[in-house]
């Protein structure tokens, strides 16, 4: 099972991205746990300079906004 962390800020577009990740996982039966991280101290541990960012199994795999198809491609690798 994959561990997915969505690194976000309080910005509405980041929150929408987090919801989209949840949708893609659910709608495509991807076996994963999804956790939204909005604590800046924890986000900084991943050394990302822009949000949102996507971490899968401890590795940063995407930065910036992605659409549903792009997320599906990333999450099914």
DSSP the chain: -EEEEEE--SSHHHHHHHHHHHHHHHHTT--EEEEEE--HHHHHTTT-SSSSEEEETTEEEEES---HHHHHHHHT-
Q: What is the model's pLDDT at position 77?
A: 84
Q: What pTM does this model have? A: 0.93
Give the pLDDT mean for 51-77.
Answer: 96
CATH number assigned to the domain comprising residue 20: 3.40.30.10
25-58 confidence digits (pLDDT tens): 999 999 999 999 999 999 999 999 899 999 999 9
Domain interval for residue 19 = 2-75
Q: For the chain, how many structural domains are there in total? A: 1
């Amino acid at each position: 099972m994959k561990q997915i962390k969505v690194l976000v800020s309080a910005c509405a577009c980041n929150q929408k991205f987090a919801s989209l990740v949840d949708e893609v996982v659910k709608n495509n039966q991807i076996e994963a746990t999804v956790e939204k991280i909005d604590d800046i101290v924890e986000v900084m541990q991943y050394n990302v300079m822009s949000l949102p960012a996507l971490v899968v199994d401890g590795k940063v795999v995407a930065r910036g906004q992605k659409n549903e198809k792009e997320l599906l491609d990333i999450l099914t690798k």
